[in-house]
Amino acid sequence: MEINVSHGEVMTIEFAGRLDTVSSLELSKRLENEAINEELVVFDMKNTEYISSAGLRLLLALKKDLAKQNKKLEIHNVNNVCQEVFKVTGFINILTIK
């Protein structure tokens, strides 16, 4: 598991590995310490192997937090399995997946 956060015009969160129960906890701890000044946050799943319900929960919480501040979340580079998970869970309808 590897988390990379970069700031700029857009805040980018890169998550490499399996976004499951354990790693979701670590990721949410990491994001709590992150000051988000950007209008847009990109969650880059290029190197994310798969996502379980814990990961989905984290993404929904993040989206909700950002929405409160009128900020947006985009999910980028989703692989087939993650896409299938987003689809079967209906997340495809509430997340902006690019």
Partner 1 sequence: MKIKFPIILKIGLLGVLASSIAAGVALTVSGVIQTKRSEEALVDNIDQALYSMEYKYTEGETSAALVESLINIKDYILGIYSDEDIHDKTLEDFSSFDEYEAYFKSKQPWIFPRPDAMDGRTEYFQFQADYHELSQMLISAHLASSGRAAYVCFIDEDDDGDRLVFINDSRIFNSDLADSFYHLPSSHYVIQEADYKTEADDEGYAGYMLAGYLTRQVPIYKYETNGEATLVAFLYIEYDTVAIKEQNRKMLLTELGIISGVMVITILVYMLLAHLAITRNLNILTKKTDMISADLKEKREIKPTKLNFKMHDEIASLSSSFELMEQEIANYVSIIKTEAKENERRLADLEVSSKIQLNSLPANKYVDGNLDLVSYIKPAKVVGGDFYDYFYNKDKFVVLIADVSGKGVPAALFMMKAKELIKSKILSGLSLVDAVSEANNELTINNEESLFVTAFIASIDFTNNVMSYVNAGHEKPYIVHQNQVYKLDGDSNFVLGGEENIEYHEEQTRFETNDSIFIFTDGLNESINKEKEEFGYDRIQKTLEDSINLPLEERIELFNANLKKFVGNEEQFDDVTMVTLTRLDNKLHLIYDAKDYSIIEDATDKFMKAYPSINGEIKSKVGIALDELLNNLISYEKKDDLKIELQFEYFKKELKVVITSNSGKFDPFENMIEKYIEEGTDNVEDIVPGGFGISLVASLTKDRSYTYKKGKSIITLIFGE
What residues make contact with partner 1 under the rule CB under 8 A?
Answer: 18, 20-22, 49-54, 56-57, 60-61, 63-64, 67, 80-81, 84-85, 88-91, 93-94
- Minimum CB distance to partner 1 smaller for 31 or for 60: 60
Shortest distance in whole angstroms from residue 30 CB to partner 1: 17
First-to-final CA distance of the chain: 23
In angstroms, rounded to a whole number, what is the distance separating the alpha carbons of residues 43 and 46? 9
Shortest distance in whole angstroms from residue 15 CB to partner 1: 14
- Minimum CB distance to partner 1 smaller for 13 or for 82: 82
CA neighbor of 94 nearest in space, from 70, 75, 69, 81: 75
Q: Are 81 and 50 in contact (CB under 8 A)?
A: yes
